[in-house]
Structure 1
Amino acid sequence: MSESDRPDVTQELRLPWDDDPEDLYEHAPCGYLTTLPDGTVVRVNQTFLSWTGYERAALVGHRRFRDLLTPGCQIYHETHYAPLLTMQSEVHEIALDVVCADGSRVPVLVNSVLERGVGGAPRVIRTTVFNATERRSYEGELLAARSTAEAAEKRVQVLQQIVADLAAAPTEAEVAEAVVRAPEPAFQATSTSIYLVDAERDQLVAVASTDPTTGNWDDMPRSSRRAVAEVARRGDLHVVHDLAEAAAHFPDLAESMARSGRRTVVLLPLTTGPAEDQSGVSVLGVLAFSFAEERELTDGELRVIRLLGQQTGQALDRARLYDDARRREERADFLAGTTRALDEEHRLLQRSRRLVERMVPEIADWATVRLHVGPAGLREDAGGPAPDEDLLAARIAEATRSVTPVYATDSDRLGCTVLPLTARGKVLGTLSLRMAADRRGAEAERAFLVALAGRAGLALENARLYEQERAIARSLQRSLLAADVPSGDPRFAVESHYQPAGQDLEVGGDWFDAFLITPNRLAVVVGDVVGRGLEAASTMGQLRSAIRALANASNGPARLLEGLDRFCQRVESARMATVVYAEVDLDACELVYACAGHLPPLLHQPAGPAEFLLQGRSGPIGTRAGDRRRTEQRLRLTPGSRLLFYTDGLVERRDRPLDSGFEVLNREFSRLRGAPLKGLPAALADTMVGREHGDDVCLLCLTLGAEERLERTLGADPLQIALLRSDMRAWLTGHGVDADCMDAVLLGCSEAVANSIEHGYREDPFGVVDVSATITDDAVEVRVADRGTWRGPGHSRGRGLRLIEESMDEVLFDRGDGTTVTMRRHRGEAE
């Protein structure tokens, strides 16, 4: 074939139409956005609009790319994404969540390229967005499968460890301690108990439990009709799946399950002997574990459970052969274990409680620790019935005076040994215990008890010193915080709370401050310095002083933050600190604020839901990368608004996204909208983080102006009355109520609330009292309502009712569904 006869391959491969570049851009399989350096969208393709539901006109020229992200992703954008893009000119496969027009969220992967103009100045940002919904779903399935595999592997590892522990356990007590912990990690059981057969007394002895309060936790004859004894006699595994089955076979177990909320119970005999020959099997005990929900155990799990029973039975049989010979080693191990257990606790009371927990029931059937140091009357005891208190007190006094143990004897009616707990030549307290009769008087036991008391005394002294040092550290932390927060101004009220990390002796870097710039302008600030220790505390103090020096009527938040940036050039340790700073015009009720890398304040106005203030944001103090310009935001507030400032310890957790922390905070702050301001930050911190938390928590709550109508909801606790009085006094002052009228209203309202708590909720500590108050030109009206059950129409405190009637001009009782008291007091002449 000649060259001229060959077909034109290029001509054959050409499409019969030409691709339109604009159509390729608009309907590409990914989203395209073009934005200015500040993030403003100037071009977007149809693919992105279809995914998110936005109209092109709503985005182009009106929205920034960061505005389309969730709050958590917005913070990530400003602290990571934007700085990286500025430094590297490109970022790849950043996972973010885009908020659609209907409020739903779309997971995406983002790539961005920053194009620069002449001289290197940023010109435009080009961004591609890939929908990651299916990828995230697939990853979720992989994680679920991995979690299932890890759970199975964990169960195998736990059982392997238990088998190893059983093989090494020399005594019955150690075997029981090893096996009682197996079902919870291996099968996700909620509680476990173990009973051992005492052949000499023909009893089943309750030895160990992870939750002794559930079930009938005591010894029983082997002839008993209780479920544990029945399984011990039969020698076979029994699984109770529900209350009906338990009621049909084991009434005692059904009662225990109903009381404790358990739904499935496994009763496993601990056996020794050949499994194939039931006639040669001996039952040495019963392991009982339960589940909170109805649980169907698989055949594989049942095989593992039976194997656990056989392994445990063999370990018990082996332990009995070595028990007498290894008693001394047992005591040595107990001493070492007690020392470790006490070292795990840092507080004096917890160490004394742990000591008693170690003693009962392994060493004694009753024990108590009474300390002469720490809080007055500190005492911790456990076990069976306590001995005669007068005789015990005399023996404790003797041991304390002589600084020597007072041992029990066979003829001793009290039956208790008292050991003085000493350290560094002084008596810290006493350990009293009642041991089994066959252990009294033995020299080895006495030497063991002396050694135990010595170690316990030293551990308790170390705990006392720890608490002393901890108290000093806490005092230092609080002394570095603002102590002169302004008060007494009816136009605003400030309540703060600082909670240090639970187990940390170091001083933290969280802080707050509030001060008046002018008589009509209030400044509020909350910040967090990087690091811990004295350097962080020193930096915290310097920053607070710098802010007070920079704050004036003409600067404003943005310029103040710029001044702090310059301050970081001289104080390097202040770099990367986060700050939220706000100024409030008290007369105009206007707020101006700026956030330098800090978490957004939470605003709750009298009408509408709480909202996070996500504007006026920029990077942390002294940030070298990214946009260094400082911005501020201004908004007008309604009188009665509450504004919460806080540090990251309140919402950040390693086991949940930051957005979830924001949602929890919003919900809890909204729930407390009717609570008095006094104590509100402390209550919020207690709900969000508890008392033993790994990070410092700092909160400041600001209330502006006097609400038009005061509405509060109180718990049925007399301590709440003082908080209500403080809130109501400020509200009445803000409305210019004269002193005589104010005192009368406070007295009448307090007595009415006290009546509701005492009589309406005398048997209901979870009841609530609703209080509302309004003001007119000529009177103050207060309404106090409860939903409790009063004993009779006239059953209120006689003196309290007289005080209400004497202090108020009009009083009306309405007893329907609960009791409502409506009171009016006429005002004096307006000032």
Structure 2
Amino acid sequence: MSDSGGPDVTQELRAPWDEDPDDLYEHAPCGYLTTLPDGTIVRVNQTFLSWTGFTRGELVGHRRFRDLLTAGGQIYHETHYAPLLRMQDEVHELAFDVVCADGRQLPTLVNSVLARGTEGAPRAIRTTVFNATERRQYEKELLLARQVAEASERRVRVLQQIVADLAAAPTEAEVAEAVVRAPESAFGAASSSIYLVDTERDTIYAVASTDPTTGNWDDMARSSTRAVARVAGRGDLHVVGSVAEAREHFPDLVESMRRSGRNTVVLLPLTTGQADEHAGVETLGVLAFSFKGERVLTDGELRVVRLLGHQAGQALDRARLYDDVRRREERSIFLAETTRSLDELHRLLPRTRRLVDRVVPEIADWAEVRLHVGTTPVVETGGGPRPDEELLSQRLGKVAASGEPKFPGEGDQLNCSVLPLTARGMVLGTLALRMAPDRRGAAAERAFLVELADRAGLALENARLYEQERQIARTLQRSLLAGDLPGGDPRFAVETHYQAAAQDLEVGGDWFDAFLISQDKLALVVGDVVGRGIEAATTMGQLRSAVRALASNEAGPARLIEGLDRFVERVEAARMATVAYVELDLAAGEVAYSCAGHLPPLLQEPAGSPEYLLQARSAALGSKAGNRVRTEHRRKLPAGSRLLLYTDGLIERRSRSIDKGFELLAREYARRRDAPLQGLAAGLADTLVGRDHTDDVCMLCVTLGTEERIERTIGADRMQIALLRADLRAWLVAHEVEPECRDAVLLACSEAVANAIEHGYRDDPFGMIDVVATVTDDAVEVRVTDRGTWRGPVTDVSRGRGLQLIRESMDQVLFDRSDGTTVTMRRGRREAS
């Protein structure tokens, strides 16, 4: 019992046997060491001796505790253990590796207590040593498991990133670039290369590599015995673990493995589809990667490798579909734009040039179109360099003869495609082009080229037919416009001008005609038929014939237009045609006119401003609306009056009002009041229309009566001399001037004008020259005036024989320098012999 009256716990817990303290010390489950402050062992239990294999005599008094530690342990004992123990008097669970008697290393955990004397000086160190072998093994296993988990997590992250990169890669090239870098980041591979399968060509080709020493690869057949081809054919993952294994299974890898020092090579097929016993599995390529030295892949790594192959295969399959769709879309756009671009041009040669310009460089680096139309072949070439001429000519001939396209094959020296240009069952020519090599889509590219050739052939045939129809229409129209106009009558002179549209449009229905109804009555007509092409030209000819048939002395303009109304009821194509019809009474000096929907004639009398004849207007021929009552208007015209008939192409523009067009025409017509009749209409067209016009221009100008006095003003341009001479000749003929006198006057006048241009206006190309000529029964007098600046006296002009010719041709020559320079020349008239 205890002092408190309770039970004695010590008595109750006493062991049934007595424990020997020495035995407990010696055989305790841990080692005991007692050392002096310097570490010398003075006592050790049997447990420690059993663990280490030492005897008591080997340790006690002969060894220090630190002497039993490894080199690293000794350093740690000196730098950490001893200082901590002195400062704290105790240390707990310090890990040391004890070197046993047989050299083994025993992992331990050490607890030490520093005992001090009464004065505090260190007296002894008591150390407890625990065997940590199993704990160390457990920690190693934990560390290894952690490392494995971290490596697996790292591979998963890399694989996730690769999958994300593959999902974001739309094209085959971008997918290949993402796949080829995956083994380095996922498995620490030294290098990798990717090969793709071309099913159309039955080959395998390399597209990317991380090894800069790899260089360019040659394509290999899918039936090749090379490692990549065999793995692609089987669709199985293969790991070559050594050079010896490569020598046995894949001899073509031995040399590269030796040269690079890479002893492990992984050949991974890139597959798509369901991998159920390889049913529906398609191998799109092979990823080959290698390691420095030997590398054993774990089962987990192999699972990741296979997953990478399947993910990459699916991405390749998706990218190929995307590439095919994108390529088809691009080709469709190209075909549509090419067709539209060709349709913008109507002529054959411009279309041929446009076709070559479209093909080069967008789809080819060289192209040639040869057309076998007419007697002279048409050849258009673009790009370069040009293929071998002999081989090209042979292939062109074969394709033109057979009508079948020829595409380049393996080892083709010509390396270009030749396609027939056909339309309506006829081979027009050939299209040859050299395209950049394309690993994929050969069948689709061939179909695209065939469709391009078909569209181009049809476009070129349409241009050929257009030109044929255009030429027929032009010939027909020219033949109708080129009728002999009346002339040789001193009472009038006629000048005409026709200018086709500058753009490649069909011929129009603009036309003119002038003919004598009787000896004293001249008919003038200008018209415009609705429509274009051969039908319009034919209708124009029918109207022209109808006007001549209906014109008579008794009819007059109004009745003639009424007759044309009846005519168009039978000729539907002539409906809505416009006509301006004029009759000149040469004896009475009177004009009668009527306009059926046409623009008003423009009259310029010798005195006054130009005037539009706005009376006697009515609707177009065969019109169901508007004023259909045909009227005519008559008025007297003084000698020297000029009358201009024209079509709407002369004044109508989309960019301005028609009133502005009338104003410009009247102003330019007035400015040319004194210009020679010959070339007057062409000059008006050049000024008002220019060369970039979209409609035909048809003009007819007539001068009534013979002028007693001719006055002309021309520019300082030698081209104007010929026009002036023709106008002056007609005037002299009208006045019945004898040929000898007429020729002399023409020569002298031409030389005088030439001198004025060369010497008076040598520095002024915009100068003007006035020419005035009068005729009497006795003589012809001509006066040429310029306002330029001559160098020295006129009579000292030494260049050429101009002045000498003038003096020899004329009876009298006078010079006046008071206001510019005036040369007055007179030639007497003599009876012709």
TM-score (norm 1): 0.48
Q: Which protein, 1 or 2, shows the higher relative CO under an 8 Å CA cutoff with sep ≥ 6?
A: 1
Greater C-alpha Rg:
2
